[in-house]
Amino acid sequence: MPRSKMTGAQAVLECLKREGVDVVFGLPGGVLLPLYDAIYQSDIRHILVRHEQGAAHMADGYARATGKVGVCIATSGPGATNLVTGIATAYMDSVPMVAITGQVNTFLIGKDAFQEADITGITLPITKHSYLLRSARDIPRVFREAFYIASTGRPGPVLIDLPRDVTVEEIEFSWPELHLPGYNPSLKAHELQVKRAAKALMEAERPVIYAGGGIKFADAHQELVKLAKTLNAPVTTTLMGVGTYPEDDPLSLGMLGMHGTKYANLAIQESDLILAVGARFDDRVTGKIASFAPRARIIHIDVDPAEIGKNVRVDIPVVADAKNALSALLGQIQPKPRSAWNAKIEGWKKDFPLKYIPDMNVIKPQFVIEKLCELAPEAVITTEVGQNQMWAAQFFVHKDPRKFISSGGLGTMGYGFPAAIGAKMGCPDSEVIDIAGDGSFLMNCQELATAVVNDIPVKVAILNNGCLGMVRQWQELFFERRYSATILGRTSPDFVKLAEAFGALGLRASKPSEVEPVIRAALASDRPTIMDFIVSPVEKVSPMVPAGATLSEILELEWCEESHAAHVHGIVGIPGSMEECL
């Protein structure tokens, strides 16, 4: 292999190029000056963010939208600690990411030097792996390993801490072979287990497929669709799995769990066989674990052996990549006809559809989502966290696995907007819309500058309910309407003016009739755009399985709280009018 002399910083850029990186998100600082000097002279695109948390979420959004590894860069000390929430978010949702942090000179490590933080220590429990470089000679090996580890098996974030002196040290660059004796992701399904799973599926009378984010990472959605159709088995997805099965298909049950559909939850509880694929039986999904799917045997396919048996007992474990396991299963099953089970589920779907009370005067947040779906059905949707996230999952008809991007495991407010910027960088030809709450959006709204300066025309739909809606909902239901610290009301800025101050386009809809024109104007715009929808402040996400309850104890909220909702009609319409009514 030809060798050439270069600095550590140049070697980092060379590694990124060899790994196929075309864009990185970051913000410089003292110890990163040599690296940024190399970036200046490189053709890799660097997006300057306005807060490092934004850089991590952008890398994450880019990774989720493209399937490639996202890269973010931050300086030592506060820059690195600002990445922490973004790294934790990526870790919880198994997102392939490489985070590069600057570090003080190796001879200063441990001396509490200026802007020193033990970032490998801080991120130990929220990274798949991490490295503290001590010599530039290790750069090629470490970067090669980092990208490999981040993107294979169960993906996850890998952090590389890069001391300043390492970036100026000169080395002969050579690209090493991978040698990771302790890392062998098990990808191929065990034949016997596949046979057992296939047999169980063929025998089952009331099967349910429960699909998670693992389908996305393995690119296994086509196999999933084939399997479901061959077996005539209904499919429900987790929040991470939203979009892996087309929701306009008759076999789709939508999402399950706390804010899943009633029919998905009933189906799980009555099922005699659950096929879990790339999902991890999270408490938001299972409800009370002891009474979860009491009549069902469980087949669990997961690439991470540690997920199997972690939360529920599993009858047939299959450790494998979802694509491999589903393909193997497809070879072992025969078509099954529609059954009484399919008819029963269709009955539930008719009896318990997702619903809300439409309103002529007040914008219902669900109505905004339905309109977005109607006018931009192919858009990549990112979400913030809270009610906005749940409505985005429920009322947009998701059909594509890489077009619903949401912080599921960590539930990070402030995620959606930078993630949208990252997704747009990865998919410049797609419309990218962040569905936001007025609380969450402010957590990373500084990235408006990033979007405007770099001409990244993402769209934000703020469901402006004047409160930290999801928490307010719990207070209404479980704390006798004592709205402690959840009413934002007048304290939020004017989002239209905020957009304009950054040089973005700001639009507002205060009445239902304005919703469609605002969305059309936003979609027609080639600039970053904020749509401020003044929505009903008292709307609740429904249905709902209260925390710790069994899935079948699901409540349909809108219908019992009608009078309370009616009470506030007419007083809403301008931002900040909530205090009076709540």
Cis peptide before 317 (omega within 30 of 0): no
**Both ends of the chain: CA-CA distance in Å?**
70
* Cβ closest to ligand TPP, residue 36 vs residue 417: 417
Q: Please select the residue that binds ligand TPP; options are 257, 469, 512, 543, rule is CB under 6 A.
A: 469
Quick one: tokens of 242? 């939203």
> CA angle 558-493-90, nearest 5°?
70
In the list 78, 124, 338, 493, the residue contacting another protein (rule: CB under 8 A) is 124
Distance CA 351, CA 3 (A): 69
The residues facing 460 across adjacent strands are 434, 530
Segment interacting with ligand TPP (CB under 6 A) among 255-263, 353-361, 446-454, 469-477: 469-477
132 binds, among ligand TPP, another protein, none (CB under 5 to 8 A by kind): another protein
3-state secondary structure of 291: helix
Task: Using DSSP bridges, classify how beta strands 297-302 and 316-319 pair: parallel, antiparallel or unpaired.
Answer: parallel
Part of the chain binding another protein (CB under 8 A), chosen from 127-135, 284-292, 497-505, 565-573: 127-135
Closer by beta carbon to ligand TPP, 85 or else 237: 85
Q: Is 388 in the site for ligand TPP (CB under 6 A)?
A: yes
Tell me which H or E stretch contains 450. helix 447-453
Residue 20 lies near another protein (rule: CB under 8 A): no
Determine the interface stretch with another protein among 44-52, 123-131, 217-225, 330-338 (rule: CB under 8 A).
123-131
Q: Tokens 């959605």 map to which residue?
A: 221
Strand 404-405 versus strand 459-464 pairing type: unpaired
Q: From CA 333, how far away is CA 214, in angstroms rounded?
A: 22
* Among ligand TPP, another protein, none, partner that 503 touches (CB below 5 to 8 angstroms by kind): none
d(CA 42, CA 32): 15
Q: Is 472 helix (H, G, I), strand (E, B) or coil?
A: helix
Interface mask toward another protein for 24-63; x: CB under 8 A: ----------------------------------------
Which tokens sit at 143? Answer: 């970067």
Burial of 313 (0-12, 13-18, 19+ CB in 10 A): exposed
Q: Strands, E, within 212-272: which ranges?
A: 235-237, 252-255
Give the per-residue contact string, 402-441, with ligand TPP (x = CB under 6 A; - = no). Answer: ---------xxx-----------------------xxxx-
Options 270-278, 298-306, 324-332, 385-393: segment touching ligand TPP (CB under 6 A): 385-393
Binds 125: which of another protein, ligand TPP, none (CB < 5-8 Å by kind)? another protein
Asked whether position 471 contacts ligand TPP by CB under 6 A, the answer is yes
Cα torsion through 534, 539, 540, 542, rounded to 10: -100
Q: Report if residue 183 touches another protein, rule: CB under 8 A.
A: yes
User: At which residue do the structure tokens 């503290």 appear?
Assistant: 132
Q: Considering the rule CB under 8 A, would residue 132 count as an interface residue with another protein?
A: yes
> Any contact of residue 536 with ligand TPP (CB under 6 A)?
no
Taking Cα atoms as reference points, which of 329, 351, 350 lies closest to residue 207? 329
Q: Kindly state the smallest distance separating residue 305's Cβ from another protein, in Å.
A: 5
Does 120 sit near another protein (CB under 8 A)?
Answer: yes
How far apart are alpha carbons 103 and 84 in whole angstroms? Answer: 15
Does the footprint of ligand TPP cover residue 544 (CB under 6 A)? Answer: no
Q: Please, are residues 546 and 560 in contact by the beta-carbon 8 Å criterion?
A: no
Selection from another protein, ligand TPP, none that 560 binds (CB < 5 to 8 A by kind) is none
Which residues are within 8 A (CB) of 182 and not within 5 positions of it... i.e. 6 or more apart? none
Q: Which of 52, 161, 384, 476 binds ligand TPP (CB under 6 A)?
A: 384
3-state SS of 320-351 is CCHHHHHHHHHCCCCCCCCCHHHHHHHHHHHH
Quick one: what does residue 129 bind among another protein, ligand TPP, none, with the CB cut-off 5 to 8 Å set by partner type? another protein
Q: Pick the closer one to another protein by CB: 20 or 181.
A: 181
Question: Closest separation between CB of residue 319 and another protein, Å?
Answer: 10
Q: 254 or 414, CB closer to ligand TPP?
A: 414
Among residues 82 and 388, whose Cβ is nearest to ligand TPP?
Answer: 388
Binding site for ligand TPP (CB under 6 A): 384-388, 411-413, 437-440, 463, 465, 467-471
User: Where on the chain is the footprint of another protein (CB under 8 A)?
Assistant: 120-121, 124-125, 128-129, 132, 149, 180-183, 304-306, 309-310
